[in-house]
C-alpha cells in the first residue's frame, strides 16, 4: 500500500512539474528487460511464457521506477487474466 501511495505521489509531482527536474536519461529497454526477467519464473510456473525481444537500447528521459511499475502492472495483469 505504501509503494502504491508513493507512486501516486510521484505521479502528482510529475503532473505539477515538481518531479520532472529529477528525470534522468535511461535505457527503457533495459528496464523492461529487467521486469520481464523478474516475472519470467512466475509465468513459467503457471505454464505461460514471457517473450521479450529487445531491438537495442531505447534512451528516454523519465523515471525508471515508474516505468518499471507500469510494465510490472501490465505483466501482472496479463498473468492473472489471460489464459
- Report yes or no on 10 lying in a domain: no
Chain position carrying cell 523478474: 38
- Report yes or no on 5 lying in a domain: no
Structure confidence by residue, pLDDT tens digits, 32-64: 999 999 999 999 999 999 999 988 999 999 888
- Whether the CB-CB separation of 54 and 29 falls below 8 Å is answered with yes
Q: Which cell goes with 36?
A: 520481464
Query: CB-based contacts of 42: which residues, under 8 Å, 6+ apart?
Result: 79
- Report yes or no on 14 lying in a domain: no
Q: Global pTM? A: 0.75
Query: What is the pLDDT at residue 21?
Result: 64
CA distance linking residue 70 with residue 78, whole number of Å: 12
- Report yes or no on 17 lying in a domain: no
Number of domains in the chain: 1
Reported as a pLDDT band with limits 50, 70 and 90, residue 7 is confident
Between 51 and 4, residue with greater pLDDT? 51
For strand 59-62 and strand 24-27, is the pairing parallel, antiparallel, or unpaired? antiparallel
Query: What is the pLDDT at residue 80?
Result: 93
- Report yes or no on 31 lying in a domain: yes
- Report yes or no on 9 lying in a domain: no
Amino acid at each position: 500500500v505504501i509503494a502504491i501511495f508513493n507512486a501516486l505521489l510521484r505521479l502528482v509531482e510529475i503532473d505539477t512539474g515538481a518531479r520532472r527536474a529529477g528525470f534522468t536519461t535511461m535505457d527503457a529497454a533495459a528496464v523492461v528487460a529487467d521486469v520481464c526477467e523478474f516475472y519470467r519464473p512466475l509465468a513459467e510456473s503457471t505454464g505461460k511464457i514471457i517473450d521479450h525481444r529487445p531491438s537495442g537500447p531505447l534512451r528516454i528521459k523519465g523515471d525508471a521506477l515508474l516505468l518499471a511499475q507500469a510494465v510490472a502492472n501490465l505483466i501482472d495483469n496479463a498473468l492473472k487474466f489471460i489464459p
